[in-house]
Amino acid sequence: MVKRKTKFVCQSCGYESPKWMGKCPGCQEWNTLVEEETVTSSRGNWAMRSTTTPQKPMTISSISSEKEPRITTSMQELNRVLGGGIVPGSLVLIGGDPGIGKSTLLLQVSNQLAEKPLDVLYISGEESAKQTKLRAERLGITSGNLYVLSETNLRDIASQINELQPKFVVIDSIQTIYKEEVTSAPGSVSQVRESTSELMKIAKQQHIPIFIVGHVTKEGSIAGPRLLEHMVDAVLYFEGERHHTYRILRSVKNRFGSTNEMGIFEMKEEGLTEVLNPSEMFLEERSQGAAGSTIVASMEGTRPVLVEIQSLISPTSFGNPRRMATGIDYNRVPLLMAVLEKRVGLMLQNQDAYVKVAGGVKLDEPAIDLAVAVSIASSFRDLPSQKDDVLVGEVGLTGEVRRVSRIEQRVQEAAKLGFSRAIIPARNLDGWNPPKSIEVIGVHSVQEAIQKTLGNG
Please enumerate, by residue number, every residue annotated as part of a binding site for ATP: 96-103
A 10 A CB-CB count for 216 gives: 18
Dist. CA 413–CA 430, nearest whole Å: 19
Specify whether the CB–CB gap between 288 and 387 falls below 8 A: yes
Closest among 268, 449, 284, 299 to 366, alpha carbons compared: 299
Dist. CA 315–CA 347, nearest whole Å: 11
Dist. CA 149–CA 161, nearest whole Å: 10
Tell me the binding residues. Answer: 96-103
Q: What is the 3-state secondary structure (H, E, C) of 296-339?
A: EEEEECCEEEEEEEEEEEEECCCCCCCEEEECCCCCHHHHHHHH
Local structure of 282: helix, strand or coil: helix
Dist. CA 405–CA 408, nearest whole Å: 9
Dist. CA 417–CA 286, nearest whole Å: 14
Cα–Cα distance list, 229 to 88, 148, 197 (Å)? 19, 26, 11
Closest among 348, 357, 391 to 283, alpha carbons compared: 357
Dist. CA 250–CA 252, nearest whole Å: 6
